[in-house]
Structure 1
Amino acid sequence: MPDEAALSFPILLTLRVCVACVLLYLCVGLPCARFCSRRRGLLARALAFLVTLPLIFPPVAMGFLLLLLLGRNGPVGGPMERWLGLRIVFSEPGVILSAFVAGLPLVVRPLQAAMERPELRRLEEAARILGCGAMGTFLFVTVPQVSRTLFSCLLLGVARASGEVGITMMLGGNISGRTNTLSLEIFNCVSRGDFDGAMRLCAVLAVVGTLLYALLEGCRARGDGGF
């Protein structure tokens, strides 16, 4: 591929990954935070541990475990490929999953803390007394009350997802033109001596990082972040 095309692919891939992660954080991370904030049993503790694991476990080791689990001979990846024709490893879905796993703790744990506030529990109880169902209470009381925290968490999750390297290298494979994200392509550029390309990609990351920081600071300055 031409140089410009070679550099544009990882940027576009990273953008797609970040958009997918935002959707996954809303569909998976938000319910997980709710569940962990309202349950105290073994299942909730196990889920909280699994969500937090990417923060305390080395990314490469985390990627290796996911590779064993989702590979074609793995207990999950094998049946998925044989019966559904779905392959996660060394594909774009694998890159998305890697980024999602890396950023999930930064979404779930702050949201969990926000949902455990006593005043929010009282508002939810009042909504239920007035006849609002569990889903209605969650959508029309809980989510609006934590919406600003949710926005900040999404920014943090996307920031982490956009810079993910260790898990992605194991699960995505760093295949040029297929699974090489922006951060991985910086590593590739340096490895082949293309320092100008690495600098251009670093500049893109710097712009994105500055924008995310500005948005987070805006939330903090208004007291909206919930941190």
Structure 2
Amino acid sequence: MPETFWTAAGSAEVAFSIGLTLRVMALAVPLFFVLGVPLGYLLGRGRGRFVALVDVAVSLPLVLPPMAVGFFLLLLLGRNAPIGGVLRETLGVELIFGFPGLVIAAVVAGLPLMVRPVQAAVRGDLLRLIELSSVLGKSAPTTFVRVVLPHCRKSVAAGMFLATGRALGEVGVSLLLGGDIVGRTNTVSLEIYNAVFSGQFARAGFLAALLAGVSLVLTLLLKRTGRG
């Protein structure tokens, strides 16, 4: 019996891909905040060659094809690569072709969209407030928590929505770092890819509709944040 839209919704493969995607995003979303806010603050305030290099590195996933980004990361994080090889030899940790690779792919794909709104907010009137806080004798951590974060809260929220939406739809980097191993690393976006190539269009349609619904919710939240 051919798979229908509703039988696809209840299949074990679909349930696994949804569960895996939720697990990946449960780690990626906090990392967007932990990494994205300090990076946006650094790029908004900092000057010099180091800051310029960081800015270029953060921007690369926006301008390079995802497959190229995934390939370069594979050269760094692979089993015999400079970083991946050291981690495997010393700690027994393998980053690629498993759950860690999927988390890295999601963070790399979404992080630039988290950084840019914060960077733009820091370059505005916030610089004057930071200077006033420094004049009043407040430490850098206190200024960051009590001045920067409250002032940038809308930009942080916007960045979180954009980064989450981008990470949910990531295919290219996930394909190379996760390996698209069925029953192990096939997230929702990769399961859509697999379903299309195997002719299971009902399954692909259900998962695509699910991602479209989530993206619509994120877009509405983003618009509401802008109005607020």
% identical equivalent positions: 44
CA distance in 2, matches of 1:152, 1:130: 30
Report how far residue 20 of structure 1 moved. 1.4
2:38 to 31, 39, 60: 31
* Matching residue of 2:16: 9
> Aligned to 1:218, what secondary structure does the other structure show?
helix
Corresponding position: 1:221 with 2:224: no
Aligned-pair Cα RMSD in Å? 1.2
Task: Name the SS of the counterpart of 1:127 in structure 2.
Answer: helix
Q: CA deviation at 1:130?
A: 1.7
1:212 maps to which of 211, 214, 218 = 218
In 1, are the aligned partners of 2:17 and 2:186 still within 8 Å (CA)?
Answer: yes
Shift of 1:198: 1.1
Q: Distance in 2 between matches of 1:21 and 1:114?
A: 23
Question: What is the aligned counterpart of 2:103 among 93, 96, 100?
Answer: 96
Structure 1 counterpart of 2:205, one-letter code: M
Match in the other structure for 1:138: 144
Unaligned runs of 5+ in 1: 223-227
Number of aligned positions between the proteins: 220
Q: 1: distance between equivalents of 2:94 and 2:15? A: 25
| SS of residue in 2 equivalent to 1:76 | helix
For residues 107 and 154 of structure 1, what CA distance do their matches in structure 2 show? 6
Structure 1 position 221, deviation (Å): 2.5
CA distance in 2, matches of 1:29, 1:16: 20
User: Moved runs in structure 1, 4+ residues, more than 6 A?
Assistant: none
**Which stretches in structure 2 are left out of the alignment for 5+ residues?**
1-7
> Does 2:176 match 1:180?
no
Task: Report the residue type matching 1:113 in the other structure.
Answer: A
Alignment of 1:1-227 (within 5 A): 4-117=11-124, 119-222=125-228
CA deviations over 1:17-46 (Å, ceiling 9, x no partner): 222111111111111111111211110000
| TM-score of the pair, normalised by structure 2 | 0.93
CA separation in 1, counterparts of 2:127 and 2:74? 40
Q: Secondary structure at the match of 1:168?
A: helix
